[in-house]
Amino acid sequence: RRIVSMHDFHGTPADLPAIHARLASCGADVVKLATMATSTHDNTRMLRLLSTSTLPTVGLCMGELGLPTRILAPKFGGLFSFAALDRGPPLAPGQISFRTMLDLYRFDQITPSTPLYGVIGDPIGHSLSPLIHNRALIELGLPGVYVPFRVPPDDLRQFLIDCRELLVKGLSVTIPHKEAICAAMTDIDPAVTAIGAGNTLVFHGERLYGYNTDQRAAIDGLSVAMGWSTDRLPDLNDKTVLVLGAGGAAKAIVHGLRACGAAVVVTNRNRGRAEPIAEPLGATVVDWDARHTVSTDVIVNCTPLGMHPQVDETPYEAAYLRRDMIVCDTVYNPEYTRLLREASAVGCTIATGIEMFVRQAAVQFQLFTGHHAPQSVMRAAIAETLHS
């Protein structure tokens, strides 16, 4: 049988249906289109082509932006997809390994009725959310696939429109979209309103429900590190907490800490972003250069400093760490950031980002599927990956 193909390594042409028809007219038994994704919307256009074609078709977008098309081909009627060898470099931009396609994404089990979930962010390649959510689905024997979507800020509005066509059921939301996503929600959980940021979207027909699972996850993660019960909020009236950063996660954590009675000091390299977080909640703000002058009991890093691949960075100099401090990091890749390694060397009590990450993801999983997440499986999957 004859495959007639066209590759475009520079972009995804606007006239995909016309190109498909031209290739089909060349005596094709199968049409194959491989283009470079330059926007998130290119994925939707390619998957739409698969779903509407009456001739067997292979269609994919290359590059990191195009990864979802490689995984979701069978959901939208694609004849087959391409994967890289399990060893050695990929043969085309954006390929993932054969073993990952089968073992993590269960490519061979994806059908048009498979529920679709995902995580959006920019960048997204470092995210372990696909790992733990897919492992949880596998552990519970549930249908579904959870896919990473790299969504640049300028693509967010169009992507949320495309989610209706792609029949997305739920999304985790990470940097830089946690604040901007709130404008798209039709039904908003009180925590989102109070914090001004969301990290979870659930689609129900035309309704878009928004949640924030970061707040309680952060407090519970701190409680686990200290050996406290997570059945109720801890009493932090005698604690001063320095929060580094002013993004969506910082907003959630400041809100949670203030609810526990802590005195909170927020600092950020851009002071103008810290003030709107701190002042409505009764927290104070200091300049980034003055962060080491704060007499604090607890430090919580909510910046990306120390995150893979910039693992040698730290938001707080080791010389100012004290043995009696509690140091928490929301970065989970790597688990032991430079900040935590240096804090541990001084004798501080530390809390890694994994506990918070798993706990917030477990709540998301239940919102998506209606099933309690297997948290032990999620933790084991992260440990296996980070320590391998």
Among residues 120, 129, 131, the alpha carbon closest in space to that of 40 is found at 120
Is residue 169 annotated as part of the catalytic site, yes or no?
no
Report how far residue 225's alpha carbon sits from residue 344's, in angstroms, rounded to the nearest whole number.
Answer: 13
Neighbouring CB atoms inside 10 A of 231's CB total 7
Neighbouring CB atoms inside 10 A of 326's CB total 19
Among residues 7, 204, 371, 372, the one annotated as catalytic is 7
Is residue 251 annotated as part of the catalytic site, yes or no?
no
Among residues 32, 75, 133, 239, the one annotated as catalytic is 32
Is residue 178 annotated as part of the catalytic site, yes or no?
yes
What one-character-per-residue DSSP string does 58-85 give? Answer: EEEEESGGGHHHHHHGGGGT-S----B-
Please tell me whether residue 244 adopts helix, strand or coil conformation.
strand
Cis status, amide bond into 334, omega within 30 of 0: yes
Instruction: Give the end-to-end CA distance of the chain in Å, rounded to a whole number.
Output: 43
Say if residues 42 and 56 touch (Cβ distance below 8 Å): no
Alpha helices (H) in the chain, listed in sequence order: 16-24, 41-52, 67-72, 98-103, 129-140, 156-166, 190-195, 214-226, 248-259, 271-278, 338-346, 353-369, 375-386
Is residue 7 annotated as part of the catalytic site, yes or no?
yes
Among residues 20, 75, 178, 255, the one annotated as catalytic is 178
Among residues 42, 122, 162, 214, the one annotated as catalytic is 214
Burial of 323 (0-12, 13-18, 19+ CB in 10 A): exposed
Residue partners of 161: CB distance under 8 A and separation at least 6 = none
Report how far residue 341's alpha carbon sits from residue 263's, in angstroms, rounded to the nearest whole number.
Answer: 26
Report how far residue 299's alpha carbon sits from residue 73's, in angstroms, rounded to the nearest whole number.
Answer: 45
> Catalytic positions, please?
7, 32, 178, 214
